[in-house]
Structure 1
């Protein structure tokens, strides 16, 4: 009996050492996991910052761009000169003599006509066109919109229903620099 008691005692001592060892390893693993979570959160923050900065840079590169939506495409083998087409619209509909730096169709051919992506020579010309577009094109089947980045377009569409409801109630918002803004340029929707 004494012998079996000594065996049990040795087994308990062995298991106690094993438990202490496992607890120590568990502490070390928790410490490593904490460090890894912190590193992951730091990396996630850096990626988020880089995405924001990349979107900002892309937005800056598109600052002179606008899109004309809804103009039918030329059919057949004839190539379409979008620059001439856009400059003609600007002179006839807008009474503006503006030279366009570039203009071309954007996207894949499909059922709907592709947008014409237009690059003006200056931001001022683009703003003048955008300001006059609603009045100048009120009887046309096509319209002009700002050339937004994918991230900005996603953000704009996110609040589309709320913006429409607010407009019907008399609140006018403007989408600028990736954010819906109210009076004084203050962001309207909090993120």
Structure 2
């Protein structure tokens, strides 16, 4: 015989309903907590990813800027190298032509070209007078002294200035009244201009002088122009020596004040 069906009372039905509602509430609470945890995890991952992406973008931009700056430096060096090669090629051609026809040899023109090339090779140089000298001084010691001048006297960040070489002119002499000059060969022309501009104002009333580096012929010509420059300044005029030429003009109101 099949089992007899039992009729559930209203209390039993109410109890079962309460149990089902409690179970449903637990599932809904668990589901909500899992959803909250998953949402927090997703937000954390997104934040971390965004930060990493922003950092990557910044690094790429910095790398791009660095590469652009380096490319500019390379292009500048290539231009200078091409100019020097062009001058050398022209000079070789001139020498070959004159070797074939000695009667056409023009020494003044040759001397001018050689002097021009020498001054081009000194284009990024500065000459410093007044730095304490030492008989045992090495090139490394000289560079350290130069960088101290740039930092302490000229208030420049010497770490950003690239020096190819810094050396003394001539052998050390105990009987010399002044220390040997220091020739500083810089990598960049703009560093040379910055040093010269800062020297005009920061080295006043000191025993240190910083000037451009020229060939012997240009230095001789500049020395010949110094008396005329002084005469013009005594007359109240503005006068400077630019390369191997004397520039004289009337002073502006700002220069007179």
Q: Equivalent residue of 2:156, what SS?
A: coil
The answer as to 2:112 corresponding to 1:49 is: no
Q: Equivalent residue of 1:63, what SS?
A: coil
**Offset from partner CA, 1:35-64 (integer Å, 9 cap, x none):** xxxx86x53xx2111111111111110010
Deviation at 1:148, TM superposition (A): 1.1
Provide the rounded CA distance (Å) in 1 between the counterparts of 2:119 and 2:137. Answer: 33
Provide the rounded CA distance (Å) in 2 between the counterparts of 1:78 and 1:68. Answer: 16
* CA pair 124-78 structure 1, distance change in 2 beyond 3 A: closer
Higher relative contact order (CA 8 A, sep 6+): 1
Deviation at 1:179, TM superposition (A): 2.1
Q: Equivalent residue of 2:207, what SS?
A: coil
Provide the rounded CA distance (Å) in 2 between the counterparts of 1:102 and 1:93. Answer: 20
User: Residue 150 of structure 2 corresponds to which residue in structure 1?
Assistant: 90
Provide the rounded CA distance (Å) in 1 between the counterparts of 2:137 and 2:186. Answer: 25
TM norm structure 1: 0.66
Q: Give the one of 104, 107, 118 matched to 2:184.
A: 118
User: Residue 168 of structure 2 corresponds to which residue in structure 1?
Assistant: 105
Q: Give the one of 174, 196, 205 matched to 1:139.
A: 205
- Is the 2:240–2:248 Cα contact (8 Å) retained in structure 1? yes
User: Residue 134 of structure 2 corresponds to which residue in structure 1?
Assistant: 74
**Which of the pair is proportionally richer in helix?**
2
- Is the 2:229–2:240 Cα contact (8 Å) retained in structure 1? no
User: Residue 247 of structure 2 corresponds to which residue in structure 1?
Assistant: 181
Structure 1: tracts of 5 or more residues without a match: 1-38, 184-191
User: Residue 167 of structure 1 corresponds to which residue in structure 2?
Assistant: 233
- Is the 1:66–1:147 Cα contact (8 Å) retained in structure 2? yes
Deviation at 1:79, TM superposition (A): 4.1
Provide the rounded CA distance (Å) in 2 between the counterparts of 1:49 and 1:114. Answer: 33
Task: Give the CA RMSD over aligned residues.
Answer: 2.0
Deviation at 1:136, TM superposition (A): 1.2
> Number of residues paired by the alignment?
141
* CA pair 139-160 structure 1, distance change in 2 beyond 3 A: closer
Structure 2: tracts of 5 or more residues without a match: 1-101, 250-257
Provide the rounded CA distance (Å) in 2 between the counterparts of 1:159 and 1:65. Answer: 22
Provide the rounded CA distance (Å) in 2 between the counterparts of 1:150 and 1:108. Answer: 18
Provide the rounded CA distance (Å) in 1 between the counterparts of 2:239 and 2:111. Answer: 25
TM norm structure 2: 0.50
